[in-house]
Structure 1
Amino acid sequence: MATFKRFTNSLWFDTRAEEAANFYVGIFKNSSVGRIAHYTEAGKEIHGKEPGSVLTVEFELDGHRFLALNGGPIFKFNEAISFVVNCKDQEEIDYYWDKLKEGGDPKAQQCGWLKDKFGVSWQVSPIAIEEMAVDPDKEKVNRMMAALMQMKKLDLAELEKAFNGK
């Protein structure tokens, strides 16, 4: 995983970086855990971590590179940042929703958002919604958006019905 990529998403965990990387890699196809760096004696008075404990974990999810950092309890995830999982069909929506939600916040957020067991926010969404949302027929878009706003896990068939006025 040492090939150059312009952008890498960095996720700050307290102590569960390796667990999170393995969890995500187990969900997404074409994914892998890469290099793992460990804390050393240097800087221990600042970071407070035991030498040899995991510092960072590189991992890739379907070609998208991430870096998980065990940085301590200073920062927490919130909904201002999320990862969108674009899905081809309802089967994919159901799969990713169920897997990512496992052990996470039991209160699903609206419009396809969920929070996983590490506190990371995800949006599990059909790619068809992108085309529906920019359709020039504003009535179609309005009906679809009205249906969308009532959903937690997205139901593609219901969104399409609303869009088509059925």
Structure 2
Amino acid sequence: MTNHKITPCLWFDGQAEEAANFYTSIFKDSKIGTISRYGKEGFEIHGQKEGTVLTVEFQINGQPFTALNGGPVFKFNEAVSFQVFCDTQEEIDSYWSKLTADGGEESQCGWLKDKFGVSWQVSPNIISELMSDPSKSERVMKVLLLMKKIDIEILILA
């Protein structure tokens, strides 16, 4: 699973395996790969019980990721997000409801945080076309700024 030159590594505080299972349950072409565990070595530094999950390699939509149980030191924020481009409103609705389930939070313009605090943008593929059309871009932006979950039909009619 490490054939790609860039693989995002997501830092969790004990939820790496749970998160990997959550993401792979949502996206097609997804799978769990290698799971590594903490050993006795380095306990004085990492403080993790031997056998605790250290990393989980996984893929979603064919994109490799690593989930790391690094502890409580770092938290996710909106400075980094993952974009999910959709062809239909049905896809947007499905990803939106699954990613916001169990404590996720809706935000503006197609942005959300999942239950782990990871930020996602669930957007229609048509949005770049609409935003690049000088005759529509202002109206599309005005409507888009009022949305949380994006509604393709409203954007097209703007």
Give the TM-score normalised by the residue count of structure 1.
0.93
2:24 aligns with 25
1:30-53 CA distances to partner (integer Å, 9 max, x unpaired)?
A: 100000000011111011001110
Sequence identity percentage: 58
Which structure 1 segments of 5+ residues have no match? Answer: none
User: Is the aligned partner of 1:153 residue 2:152?
Assistant: no
1:48-101 CA distances to partner (integer Å, 9 max, x unpaired)?
A: 001110000000001101000000000000111110100001000000000000
Which structure 2 segments of 5+ residues have no match? Answer: none
The AA in structure 1 aligned to 2:125 is I
Number of residue equivalences: 158
Matches within 5 A, 1:4-153: 4-106=3-105, 108-135=106-133, 137=134, 139-153=135-149
What stretches of structure 1 move > 6 A for 4+ residues in a row?
Answer: none
Give the TM-score normalised by the residue count of structure 2.
0.97
Alignment check: 8 A CA contact 1:104 1:119 kept: no
1:94-137 CA distances to partner (integer Å, 9 max, x unpaired)?
A: 0000000001334x2100011110010111000100111122x2
Alignment partners' CA distance in 2, 1:102 and 1:130: 27
